[in-house]
Amino acid sequence: YLSVAFITFANGGDNIGIYVPFFSTLNNNQLVITVVTFFIMVAVWCLIGYRLARVRYVSETLEKYDRWVIPIVFIGLGFYIMAKNGTIQTLLNFI
């Protein structure tokens, strides 16, 4: 449990960088729905991850490609959030 807690703490900067801009665009109703959905989906993802990690072929394949998949997902999510918030347009107008 401590190793998971330390990894979660070490990755906290990514979470702050992604979730703060996203949550700042939501009104109160959207925020409640998003937080409830977030908690439910975290539980679902943990369950899926646990089940997948027990399948040897799947875990070996994920370990082989995790160095590429994780950065691509974070970069894509960052671009999506910046596009939705108008950040990219603002930067292009500034240049």
pLDDT 10s digits, 4-50: 667 667 767 667 777 788 888 889 999 999 889 989 998 998 898 88
Q: How far apart, in whole angstroms, are the C-alpha atoms of residue 63 and residue 48?
A: 16
Question: What is the DSSP annotation of the chain?
Answer: -HHHHHHHHHTHHHHHHHHHHHHTT--HHHHHHHHHHHHHHHHHHHHHHHHHHTSHHHHHHHHHHHHHHHHHHHHHHHHHHHHHHTHHHHHHHH-
**What percentage of the chain carries pLDDT values higher than 90?**
14
79/9: higher pLDDT: 79
Number of domains in the chain: 1
Q: Quote the domain boundaries for residue 53.
A: 2-94
Residue 16: what pLDDT? 73
Q: Which of 13-17, 28-32, 53-57, 76-80 has the lowest mean pLDDT?
A: 13-17
pTM score of the predicted model: 0.47
Name, in order, each residue with C-beta under 8 angstroms of 40's C-beta and a sequence gap of 6 or more: none
